[in-house]
């Protein structure tokens, strides 16, 4: 199962991937993609962004049938985060494990916009989703989380992408100086990590492990450290 087998996302992800920063230039060529809804998409965008093995994140709308969802006119869609990951570092099962831990599967959202849902991309993901759901159900009782096939993904407006990073003037200015195009920023691995650190989801271990490959200099590294210490 690789992204080569998948239909392209409905729009907006065909731009060239960013290359200027070392971690982006060293991106794995083979990635897989998961699409998950965990309520407001700002939070999970940051948490997955700070997860080792996650390559790219983007937030958007999925799980409904209306043709052109926007934040103001969502139709029957739900806020989701799309997580592109390196399967040699992080498995789909490990991602699912986080998904189930990061929400209460028995709690149903009052509005569809914030439903908990996992949208499988193929039969292999479907089997993993159903097995994990059955495990949880047998231990904890009825699961309200929606489990469905993916049938399209519309990227959200630029101002929702890497939302926590956008609120962090110092980090946002540093990466915007390198990637001034919003689509390039959205697809940057470094931006995904910075978004995680901006939200407080980074860690000293992650910084020690890969901070030098962000390529943004010592001052930014010191700022990242201050966001987690």
Residues in 78-117 at the binding interface with ligand MHO, rule: CB under 6 A: 79
Beta carbon nearer to ligand MHO, 116 or 121 = 116
Region from 35-43, 85-93, 123-131, 204-212 binding ligand MHO, contact rule CB under 6 A: 35-43
Region from 39-47, 117-125, 172-180, 216-224 binding ligand MHO, contact rule CB under 6 A: 39-47
* 113 touches 74 (CB < 8 A): yes
Collapsed DSSP state (helix, strand, coil) of residue 199: coil
Beta carbon nearer to ligand MHO, 60 or 211 = 60
- Catalytic, out of 1, 27, 40, 221: 40
Torsion of CA 223, 13, 181, 166, to 10 degrees: -40
Q: ∠ CA 32-27-132 to the nearest 5 degrees?
A: 25
Beta carbon nearer to ligand MHO, 42 or 85 = 42
The least distance separating ligand MHO from the CB of residue 40, rounded to whole angstroms, comes to 4
DSSP string of 46-108, one letter each residue: HHHHTSTTEEEEEEEEESS--SS--SS--TT-EEEEEEEE-TTTS-HHHHHHHHHHTS-TTPP
Region from 23-31, 38-46, 130-138, 208-216 binding ligand MHO, contact rule CB under 6 A: 38-46
Region from 37-45, 98-106, 130-138, 194-202 binding ligand MHO, contact rule CB under 6 A: 37-45
* From 1, 27, 40, 221, residue interacting with ligand MHO (rule: CB under 6 A): 40
Residue number with the shortest CB distance to ligand MHO? 40
Beta carbon nearer to ligand MHO, 77 or 160 = 160
Beta carbon nearer to ligand MHO, 41 or 214 = 41
Phi then psi for 32, rounded to 5 degrees? -125, 165
Q: Is 40 an annotated catalytic residue?
A: yes
Maximum CA extent, the chain: 51
- What's the token pair of residue 70? 């926007």
Q: How many chain residues touch ligand MHO (CB under 6 A)?
A: 5
Interatomic CA distance for residues 14 and 1, integer angstroms? 20
* From 37, 42, 63, 95, residue interacting with ligand MHO (rule: CB under 6 A): 42
Collapsed DSSP state (helix, strand, coil) of residue 122: coil
Residues in 153-192 at the binding interface with ligand MHO, rule: CB under 6 A: 160
Interatomic CA distance for residues 155 and 140, integer angstroms? 34
Helix (H) / strand (E) element for 149: namely strand 146-149
Site of interaction with ligand MHO (CB under 6 A): 40-42, 79, 160
Residues assigned a catalytic role: 40
């Amino acid at each position: 199962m690789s992204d080569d087998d998948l239909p392209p996302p409905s729009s907006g992800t065909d731009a060239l991937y960013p290359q200027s920063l070392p971690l982006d230039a060293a991106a794995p060529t083979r990635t897989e993609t998961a699409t998950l809804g965990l309520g407001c998409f700002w939070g999970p965008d940051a948490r997955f962004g700070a997860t080792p093995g996650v390559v790219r994140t983007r937030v958007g709308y999925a799980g409904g049938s209306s043709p052109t969802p926007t934040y103001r006119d969502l139709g029957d869609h739900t806020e989701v985060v799309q997580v592109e990951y390196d399967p040699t570092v992080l498995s789909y099962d490990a991602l699912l494990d986080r998904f189930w831990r990061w929400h209460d599967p028995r709690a149903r959202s009052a509005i569809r916009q914030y439903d908990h849902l996992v949208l499988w991309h193929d039969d292999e993901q479907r089997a993993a989703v159903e097995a994990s759901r059955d495990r949880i159900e047998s231990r904890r009782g009825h699961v309200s989380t929606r489990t469905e096939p993916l049938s399209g993904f519309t990227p959200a407006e630029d101002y929702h992408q890497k939302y926590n990073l956008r609120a962090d003037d110092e980090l946002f200015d540093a990466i915007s100086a390198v990637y001034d195009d919003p689509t390039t920023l959205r697809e940057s691995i470094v931006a995904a990590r910075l978004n995680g650190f901006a939200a407080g989801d980074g860690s000293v271990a992650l910084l020690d492990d890969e901070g030098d490959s962000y390529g943004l200099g010592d001052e930014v590294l010191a700022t990242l450290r201050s966001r987690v210490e």
